[in-house]
Amino acid sequence: MSFEVINPVTGEKVTEFSAWDSSQLESALAAVAAASPAWRNTVISERCELMHKAADVLRNNKEKYAAIITQEMGKLINESRAEVEKCALACDYYAENGSAFLADEAIDSDAGKSYVAYLPLGTVLAVMPWNFPLWQVFRFAAPALVAGNSGVLKHASNVPQCALLIEEVFKLAGFPDSIFRSLMIRASQVKAVIEDPRIHAVTLTGSEPAGRQVAATAANHLKKSVLELGGSDAFIVLEDADLDLTVQNALISRFLNSGQSCIAAKRFIVVDAIAEDFIARFKAGVEALKAGDPMDESTTLAPMAREDLRNELHDQVKDSLAAGAVAVTGCEPISGQGAFYKASILDRVEAGMRAYHEELFGPVAIILHARDDADALRIANESPFGLGGSVWTQDSSRGERIARQIESGCSFVNGMVKSDPRLPFGGIKNSGYGRELSWHGIREFTNAKTIWIK
């Protein structure tokens, strides 16, 4: 088996890489296990210094790395550049704050001295997706490595060049050999890697079915896991919202990365009083998006990453239309080569339709009508997912009150949902468990060890 790089714009094969056999995988795992003890015992100031250098490598190679991201999964080149910059920001953040986040925590007890020490678990396996092929890896790797863990990566099969360049970043930054390795393995090999005693924890960003499989395997072997799964974020628009600001953010939040983001706004819950005005403005913005080559700076709508993903999205849309939803604009593929889908709005979506209950991972916004605040909140929470959500109102107290009641890992008022190294990130319900980023993220893969001395 090989990993093929297919250009989402043309559908043509760019290159391919051979999948590892069992001996290559064993060699890599053995090398990581051999390198880990010395890294664990390296003083944290040295680990932080190397993480600063990783940030420098990312920035110095921004154009090269951004072009690889766009070639492999199709996002707009300016979005790819921003992704590289965000990875560098995360590296710097943990380099600057890691020592404080992991400092011994003194606790009064019956001992002469007692405290909690945050010590590394060992080697963390990351199973990562293609939609943010650098960011979703670095948001695990930067804190995990600063904490003294080693890391191995099973990346999505359609972004092998991104997997290899991430390993390259740490090598160029001067990290010890085999402290971070990209495993060029098939999905069918992941279970055996989790079961391997040289792996001490696992983190996954991906689909709900994949999360269930990884979590079950990890639990069966009593290993820590963190899951960031799908999302169907609510975007609640109240009658007093600033519609210019709201629509501007609605367009970015839904169509960034061609809508292929777990924390994209997917369910636009609009109160009846301003629904007609909001939809008209939103439609105008959606129809102004320009599909095209993501390497062209003037393009504003990228292709989807793969044609099979586009086909799955269209099946969800067609089934919802057949059940009574209304196509405001788009709602069909763009003819011709490549995995392009029209920027779309699907209105009158109701319970029982696929678009109501499932995550639409692509450039399709759905409109849900609400009578008032309470109805909007009911609809927002009537979802199996709980990753993020936002509320749009000129009354910040009102927005905060609703935001606190949204069942999600984060809620934003008058701002689109986003990840930030300074803030913990993760979900509840079918969106997973555990937290990444902030001090919460760096402590997920540590042993909070009590030390008692008398």
Question: Which residues are known catalytic residues?
Answer: 228, 262
Strands 105-106 and 13-18: unpaired
For 63-176, list the strands marked E by DSSP.
105-106, 113-120, 123-127, 150-154
Distance in angstroms (rounded) separating the CA atoms of residues 10 and 89: 33
Q: Which residues contact 24 (CB under 8 A, 6 or more apart)?
A: 184
Query: How far separated are the first and last CA of the chain, in Å rounded?
Result: 59
Token pair 């008022």 is found at: 413
**343 touches 317 (CB < 8 A):** no
Long-range CB pairs of 184-187 (<8 Å, 24+ gap) are 184/3, 184/17, 184/18, 184/19, 184/20, 184/24, 184/160, 185/19, 185/20, 185/25, 185/154, 186/1, 186/19, 186/157, 187/154, 187/157
**304 touches 8 (CB < 8 A):** yes
For 197-329, list the strands marked E by DSSP.
201-205, 224-228, 233-237, 265-271, 326-329
Q: Which residues contact 132 (CB under 8 A, 6 or more apart)?
A: 83, 257, 261
Count of beta carbons in the 10 Å neighbourhood of residue 276:
10
Written as six digits, the tokens of 63 are: 């154009």
Distance in angstroms (rounded) separating the CA atoms of residues 34 and 452: 31
The amino acid sitting at 153 is: L
User: For 304, which DSSP code?
Assistant: P
Written as six digits, the tokens of 115 are: 């405290």
Burial 74-112 (b: 16+ CB within 10 A, else e): bbbbebbbbbbbbbbbbbbbbbebbeebbeeeeeeeeee
